Amino acid sequence: METYEKTIMVTGGAGFIGSHVVRFMVNKYPKYRIINVDKLTYAGNLENLRDVEDKLNYKFVKADIVEDEEMQKLFDVYKFDGVIHLAAESHVDRSIASPTEFIMTNFVGTANLLNAAKFHWQDDYKGKLFYHVSTDEVYGSLGETGLFTENTPYDPRSPYSASKAGSDHLVRAYYHTFGLPVKISNCSNNYGGYQFPEKLIPLFIHNIKNKKKLPVYGKGLNVRDWLYVEDHASAIDIIFHKGKVGETYNIGGNNEWKNIDLIRLLCKIMDRKLGRELGESEKLISYVKDRAGHDLRYAIDSSKLKNELGWSPSLVFEEGLEKTVDWYLNNPEWLENVTSGDYLKYYEEQYLNR
């Protein structure tokens, strides 16, 4: 029987970022056993992991982190040395439509995992680590200037960000109160392949391809700091292995874009790739009712991560966006599969009366 140096539970590994993290860890660390624990909600998709599913050091377990006893059982069975916790309800618009699921998965689910880790590890914390993956949205909304640092006070403004902020506080509380070895990272907006097309970039690629309207919230002046998802995975790897226990690290792309500027760039790239006349896709832009409580601007200062651990993004945005467009155009079945069925109902409810 194969012996492994470490057994790591990755929660939410069938989702967008989780699948990139699983792929990265399974390939880079053949001596680690990676156990992907995922409930497979609408956002979880095992198609995202086809290329690693047969690897000996990878295993998928379908489970809900809200089920306390199940989490305890998994710790019993697999004797995890580490947790990389990504499972979450992650879409802000859905959190406005139904907040409770966000509180259950993001807050209660995180508490269950912390309890299971504490219970199984408390006799000897040596070599153990609970790594919590969080978001820059916990810091609230910036004005025209300034950056989020690790010391920016929390000011979450959507049910999604409030539930993530709550989970961050719980993780820190278990560190201070029980000595549980934890690390947290707060990352800006990710983009890349395998992202569910409810989020801006894959949704707009899908709509442009199908000549559907591009629903821009408000005036399109909100600003986000975009990071290529594989760079997020590499940052998680570095923090997991080299970050200090008890610390928080901000991860960002140093890459701010006003939504409308990003959308125009995306339209240009798509026109070129689809052989359409330049300017054709921009005609699909349609300004719609703004998102409730829409945060104006996010921007991350990731100098701590750069200076202490030597991480920086590997791609410039234009290059990453081209790669991302190519990925969706080269994987039409993936896009078709996730945009049929329940997706159509979601889309109608979300956008019909905007």
Query: Among residues 48, 90, 167, 185, which is the contact residue for ligand DAU, using CB under 6 A?
Result: 90
Site for ligand NAD contains 161 (CB under 6 A): no
The number of residues that bind ligand NAD (CB under 6 A) is 30
Question: Could you tell which of ligand DAU, ligand NAD, none binds residue 105, using a CB distance below 5 to 8 A set by kind?
Answer: ligand NAD
Stretch that binds ligand DAU, among 69-77, 124-132, 209-217, 248-256 (CB under 6 A): 209-217
Beta-ladder partners of 214: 285
Residues sharing a CB contact under 8 Å with residue 77, sequence separation 6 or more, in sequence order: none
Is the CB of 44 or the CB of 320 nearer to ligand NAD?
A: 44
- By CB under 6 A, residue 14 contacts ligand NAD: yes
- Residues 122 and 60: their CA atoms lie apart, in Å, by 26
**Three-state DSSP class for residue 65:** coil
Residue 93 vs 280, nearer CB to ligand NAD = 93
Nearest residue to 350 (alpha-carbon basis) of 281, 296, 292, 298: 292
Q: Which is nearer to ligand NAD, 148 or 196 (CB)?
A: 196
CB of 236 to ligand NAD, least distance (A): 10
Segment contacting ligand NAD by CB under 6 A, of 84-92, 168-176, 301-309, 337-345:
84-92
Binder to ligand DAU among 189, 248, 302, 324 (CB under 6 A)? 189
Which of ligand DAU, ligand NAD, none sits in contact with 216, Cβ below 5 to 8 A by type?
ligand DAU
| Partner interacting with residue 92 (select from ligand DAU, ligand NAD, none; CB below 5-8 Å by kind) | ligand DAU
Judged by DSSP in three states, 119 sits in helix
Is 21 buried (19+), middle (13-18) or exposed (0-12) by CB count in 10 A? buried
Cβ-in-10-Å burial (0-12, 13-18, 19+) of 233 comes to buried
Q: What share of the chain is helix, strand, coil (3-state, %, to 5)?
A: 45, 20, 35
Our finding on whether 203 is near ligand DAU (CB under 6 A) is yes
For ligand NAD, which residue has the nearest CB? 15
Closest alpha carbon to 187 in 6, 14, 7, 16:
16
Cα dihedral: 96, 261, 272, 344 (round 10) = 10
- The phi, psi pair for 348, rounded to 5°, reads -60, -45
Rule CB under 6 A: say whether 215 interacts with ligand DAU. Answer: yes
Alpha carbons 96 and 78: distance in angstroms, whole number: 36
Residue number, 184 or 203, with CB nearest to ligand DAU: 203
User: Which stretches of the chain bind ligand NAD, using CB under 6 A?
Assistant: 11-12, 14-18, 38-41, 43-44, 64-66, 86-90, 105, 109, 133, 135, 164, 187, 189-190, 196
- Catalytic residue set: 136-137, 160
